[in-house]
Amino acid sequence: MSKIIRVLIVDDSAYVRKVVRQMLSRSPFIEVVGTAHDGKDALEQIEKLKPDVVTLDLIMPEMEGVEFLKQQMAKHPIPVVVVSIADEGGERVLAALDAGAVDFVQKPTALATDKMYDISDELIEKVKAAAHVPLNRLPVQSPSSVIVPEKPTVSPPVISQALEMIVIGISTGGPQALAYAIPQLPADFPLPIAVVLHMPIGYTKMYAERLNGLSALEVIEAAEGDVVRPGRVMIAPAGRHLTFIRHVDGQVLAHLEARPFDMLHRPSVDVLFQSAAEVYGPHLLGVVMTGMGSDGKQGCAWIKSHGGVVYTEDESSCVVYGMPRSVVEAGLSDRRISLQYLPSTLINLALSGV
């Protein structure tokens, strides 16, 4: 990475602006070119400074963060990383993602304490990733207005066993991508779906409720003992790994646990995929979508070793082509497919009975 990323910090707290500047300045690839104390000030500073990325608080006087996003994105899209507090701005964070924000980092505290420095590494990585996001891949339109695309002209690879389960791993750009894809699946969709979406604690339940309101399928945040059944989408709760247990009567139930502790993410795509592979064997489809890092690569190896099939989102539609790239480069992807065609592909596979 040779280009220096120019960042504007937007926050009504002078202390937070100072700390965020110090954190970002740790990276030789980032230069903080200015700060703003609210959304109105930010609109003016962007005109003047032309930053590459904006870090954005949401709860501010004069003009709050979501309104700033709506105005800025309508005028000139720019990568924005939200920095917010779950218990004070959870709904605002989801609204900010709808309005075009690339990603978000959860503030560890609302107080002026050194605990703010805990997010330093995460913030740097997300700002660096945001600087390279093609903004036309962030769907900011209402998911209800999405037009269902024509089904792909390329036939999917033959699946030798009937599918019984779909598992999805997704991160940066995930809330927007799922809000595009899941509402296009019909109420009679015959397969269960389980999702690991990298989000901080305090957001997955709220996001599941919002997605449920947009979808014909039932979307829930997974709880201990929930039954895995057709037409149900289970989103792993932040802070717990989602795994499965098959009872002697054939019923599969969700199981949540904190272990393993040594994973970069909790929930982990790898943990979900491994458990699903052990329960469903060759009757499993794993899908790795947009996101930073390589979570899901080892899980895909488990799926393949048990006879299952792996799809990855094509680079052309990914907000960040990290997780899918790691699977493709490991030779584990059976097919790459753009987000545009994912819903119709899943429908075709599920209804074909293959």
For residue 171, indicate whether it is catalytic. yes
Q: Which of 38, 41, 57, 295 is catalytic?
A: 295
Alpha-carbon span 81 to 84, nearest angstrom = 10
Q: Which residues of 278-293 are buried (b: 16+ CB within 10 A; e: fewer)?
A: ebbbbbbbbbbbbbbb
Q: How many helices (H) and strands (E) are present in the chain, helices listed first?
A: 11, 14
Q: Which of 12, 52, 103, 198 is catalytic?
A: 198
For residue 198, indicate whether it is catalytic. yes
Q: Which of 84, 171, 275, 333 is catalytic?
A: 171
Alpha-carbon span 298 to 270, nearest angstrom = 6
For residue 114, indicate whether it is catalytic. no
C-alpha to C-alpha distances, 138 to 43, 141, 207, nearest whole angstrom: 20, 9, 17
Burial class (CB within 10 angstroms; exposed 0-12, middle 13-18, buried 19+) of 215:
buried
**Is cis: bond before 260, omega within 30 of 0?**
yes
Alpha-carbon span 342 to 179, nearest angstrom = 12
Contacting residues for 185 by C-beta, under 8 A, at least 6 apart: 215, 216, 217, 343, 346, 347
The phi and psi torsions of 292 (rounded to 5 degrees) equal -80, 155
**Is cis: bond before 267, omega within 30 of 0?**
yes
Alpha-carbon span 330 to 325, nearest angstrom = 8
Alpha-carbon span 305 to 303, nearest angstrom = 6
Alpha-carbon span 290 to 283, nearest angstrom = 24
Active site residues: 171, 198, 295
